Amino acid sequence: MRSIESTSSAPRWGIRVIGVGSAALILILAVLLPGLVALLILGALIAYLLDPTVQRLERRGFNRTAAASMVFAGLSLLVISALIVLVPAAVTQFEELLSMDVSRATATFESVNLRINGWIGKLGLEEVDLLESLLSYLGERIPSMIAVLPDALSFIGNLALFPFIVFFLLKDGRMLKKTMLLLIPNHYFEFTLGLLFKMDVQLGNYLRGQLVEAFVVGVLSIAALWILDVPYFLPVGIFAGAANVVPYLGPSTGAITAVIVVLVSGGSPATAVLIVVLFILIQLLDNGIVQPLVISRKIKMHPLLIVVSVVAGGQLFGFLGLLLAVPVMAILKVFVVESIRYSRRYRFQPG
């Protein structure tokens, strides 16, 4: 009987070299051009989230290019109209923020300072000037914030590339995946294909659910803040929706931001309490109704893992990193867990 040991021919070695080379190139790119890599990840995520919509159009008889173009045009229209509505509002609100009368906030700050110094005096310690400490802290930080500006400008430059990235990933994503799978050696081909399928089943639902959830929480937050007549309700509500993607930290961050805005802009403590109550209600609504409807399968992540990934994402890729940290960590977690679970069912040894 003929032996059925695996043999490798020369062209297959060539394919492996290309595969290893491509992986190395991606790693080098990630180190040298983190901004571009973050945009590619974001583009891939958006294309992945929009894929079912493209498929729905394909079902109606459109070819892939036409379907992808239509979805892309729809998305562009949505983004442009959002910008038309949001940018003037944001600029106006930003201008208001700059010309805001901070005397009341300063007075609050000074009264707190006086009270603290009263306690400190009783303890026999040296008095502190909170306002001066804060201003000197900001004075040290602002130049370093300005130093980040060139990075921000190159980010805007990369941003111009972004629509192209999304469009081509949307149009050719399937072909790209197929081409990459061609590089996988026969030995691991079925395993890789099965693993990607399992990841897709778990992640597709989770990521799309997260997006819908963020949208719902964002809209509800904007509505709640608008009803309570909170200034800058639009950016604060959008921020609360986006922050909702980060479990544990996100919802409280949104509420804290809104409370700070109310207090600094001279709102009453009663409004601040109402905001907290409404944000708790929104969370209850989200956990009780929205989540069960849009997310059928949750990907559990330890709070520590979430905090570490958000900090690492922020440090490595800036604001985009903060936003992408949790979805990327979810992808990595599913990849690791499913790889281990699925590989146990395979026998990779030859012969």
Partner 1 sequence: MSEVTRMSGFWSNIFSRNPKKESTLDLLETIPVFEELNSRELRAVERILYRRTFSPGEIIFRQGDPGVGMYILGEGEVEIRSEPDQTVLTTLGVGSFFGEVSLLNEVPRSATAAASTECVLWGFFRPELMDLIERWPKLGVKILLHLAQIAGKRLVAVDVELRDMRTRDSEGR
Binding residues for partner 1, rule: CB under 8 A, are 1-9, 12, 52, 55, 58-59, 174, 178, 181-182, 186-187, 189-190, 193-194, 196-197, 200, 342, 345-347, 350
Q: Among residues 300 and 347, whose Cβ is nearest to partner 1?
A: 347
Nearest distance, CB of residue 291 and partner 1, angstroms: 25
Q: What CA–CA distance (Å, rounded) separates 38 from 236?
A: 24
Nearest distance, CB of residue 208 and partner 1, angstroms: 14
Q: Among residues 7 and 144, whose Cβ is nearest to partner 1?
A: 7
Nearest distance, CB of residue 12 and partner 1, angstroms: 8
CB-count burial class (<10 Å; 0-12, 13-18, 19+) for 307:
middle
Q: Among residues 15 and 116, whose Cβ is nearest to partner 1?
A: 15
Q: Among residues 30 and 200, whose Cβ is nearest to partner 1?
A: 200
251: tokens are: 């919802």
Nearest distance, CB of residue 172 and partner 1, angstroms: 12
Q: Among residues 59 and 300, whose Cβ is nearest to partner 1?
A: 59
Nearest distance, CB of residue 13 and partner 1, angstroms: 12
